[in-house]
Structure 1
């Protein structure tokens, strides 16, 4: 492994690229946002036309299934540009069935495919401390190991049945989305009872009602800072995938459905590109209360 392309330089993809550069790889960053590409070049990324035929691996970290499919098999797709046995690592949150479809299509092109959704947030991504949930052939996993070691602190393996990693990510996203919505509901409920947001976080972070998402996102509300670390618009997509999987499995997920409606309301109210903690604005508006302003 020497030459790697990271496609999708959002907060997670950019962090992965940074970690690979620190580990000595030749990293070609690709993103529709040329500002992100220029930032990566400043960090040591390569400023050149991507030599697809010389790549050893491509890591895809984009928003959704449609973008992932287009990148691999669209009109300008990479599948026909890569040499045989190039590793394609898909970190996008997708459904298990989509992962299986992409793996089969890549196998037909003699490419290695690894289903590798990620968790950890932008900070852990930039530190090379992500968690991966991976599934794929033994050959794909062996090929990916140096990359995973350079960008993660934990790799959870789910065997050779492609899509198992994405199924696990769906479970994680179910909890993460519900926890963010629950945090927003609780902090705004507290405000209606005269509890200052700062005191809410001080107390709940030491009590049984806490969660990682609460401790991570509540400070955004307290600071009135909704610059997107993870945006509202991610959740209608991710929780939509969760509910599609649940529907196909005849599984009822009413709490997830309720959380999804709050994120849809936030997106529809113009907060889609703000930090996902901005879902609290829906609760605040409905309750007729003011959230803290940025200083």
Structure 2
């Protein structure tokens, strides 16, 4: 299929690469053009504007950072794509942001579904994401070849755009929580005079075990924070979770704690690092990062 990827950050670039590997005809655009150039070397067409990028697309993927970027790009490209194109909103923009995109899509006669990406840079590059899709069944089915090329699993959250976003916020709340909990336990183990790896050994194979704890825990112990999921990106998502919780009447007690500890790690200069750097927010004052 002719697929356009608007936004080639860590996730968008990985997705575009996976689509190319699976034989799709891929066009890419990114605000910082140099970030899209490596995809051109892999066989993608690198467009100079969002409008040019969507001109012949069958499927348009929006893989941008936030609602402001999504609305800006929609404004530039909405009327340039074929009427038959299906737009797939894959940016984490929260419930209110998604409602705004739905309204803009309707104003421009755009066929819109969503497919939120659950995973990080590595799975995006490997075509091993979990996609959280939502929208009319007919249109979700039409973009399945694209979603299957970048994922190992597709979960259909509902037939209305917004259901995928709701599920993504809940899933990312789990990711934020388990990462911070791993950091807390490792730091406490170390502060009490033990090798922090003993914590990972203790949970290994137990009912409370998690492969994610081992993956992120190993990075925390080694102080290795090469970004797979940037900490400031998750901070942005946690803010969207807080908004959703407040709107639905759910307590934000745990989310507020996550805001604080991820914020502390960001303030210490780790905003561009992997979310494993949240461990720096738990370390005793004066401890080296």
- State if a TM-score over 0.5 links the two structures: yes
| Structure 1 partner of 2:184 | 185
Partner SS, residue 280 of structure 1: helix
| Structure 2 partner of 1:168 | 167
Q: Identify if the C-alpha distance between structure 1 residues 51 and 258 changes in structure 2 by more than 3 Å, giving closer, same or farther.
A: closer
Structure 1: distance between partners of 2:41 and 2:53:
20
Q: Identify if the C-alpha distance between structure 1 residues 8 and 195 changes in structure 2 by more than 3 Å, giving closer, same or farther.
A: farther
The offset of 1:254, in angstroms, is 0.7
Structure 2: distance between partners of 1:39 and 1:201:
38
More deviation in 39-48 or 203-212?
203-212
Structure 2: distance between partners of 1:88 and 1:56:
9
| Structure 1 partner of 2:15 | 16
| Structure 2 partner of 1:61 | 63
Q: Verify: 1:234 aligned to 2:233, yes or no.
A: yes
Q: Identify if the C-alpha distance between structure 1 residues 256 and 48 changes in structure 2 by more than 3 Å, giving closer, same or farther.
A: closer
Q: Identify if the C-alpha distance between structure 1 residues 270 and 51 changes in structure 2 by more than 3 Å, giving closer, same or farther.
A: closer
Q: Tell me how many residue pairs correspond in the alignment.
A: 286
Contact 1:103–1:114 (8 Å) recurs in 2: no
| Structure 1 partner of 2:54 | 52
The residue correspondences of 1:42-121 to structure 2 (distance < 5 A) are: 42-47=41-46, 49=48, 50-73=52-75, 77-121=76-120
Q: Identify if the C-alpha distance between structure 1 residues 38 and 100 changes in structure 2 by more than 3 Å, giving closer, same or farther.
A: same
Contact 2:28–2:47 (8 Å) recurs in 1: no
The offset of 1:33, in angstroms, is 3.6
Structure 1: distance between partners of 2:139 and 2:166:
18
Structure 1: distance between partners of 2:162 and 2:148:
21
Partner SS, residue 273 of structure 2: coil
Structure 1: which 5+ runs fail to align?
Answer: none
Structure 2: distance between partners of 1:146 and 1:209:
36
Partner SS, residue 161 of structure 2: coil
Structure 1: distance between partners of 2:198 and 2:41:
41
Partner SS, residue 26 of structure 2: strand
The offset of 1:19, in angstroms, is 1.3
Structure 2: distance between partners of 1:285 and 1:61:
37
Partner SS, residue 11 of structure 2: helix
Structure 2: distance between partners of 1:133 and 1:194:
42
The offset of 1:68, in angstroms, is 1.2
The offset of 1:290, in angstroms, is 4.4
| Structure 2 partner of 1:137 | 136
Contact 1:220–1:226 (8 Å) recurs in 2: yes
| Structure 1 partner of 2:26 | 27
| Structure 2 partner of 1:41 | 40
Partner SS, residue 195 of structure 1: coil
Q: Identify if the C-alpha distance between structure 1 residues 97 and 47 changes in structure 2 by more than 3 Å, giving closer, same or farther.
A: closer
Contact 2:29–2:46 (8 Å) recurs in 1: no
Contact 2:4–2:53 (8 Å) recurs in 1: no
The offset of 1:29, in angstroms, is 1.9
Q: Identify if the C-alpha distance between structure 1 residues 283 and 15 changes in structure 2 by more than 3 Å, giving closer, same or farther.
A: same
Contact 1:192–1:289 (8 Å) recurs in 2: no
The offset of 1:48, in angstroms, is 5.0
Q: Identify if the C-alpha distance between structure 1 residues 58 and 135 changes in structure 2 by more than 3 Å, giving closer, same or farther.
A: same
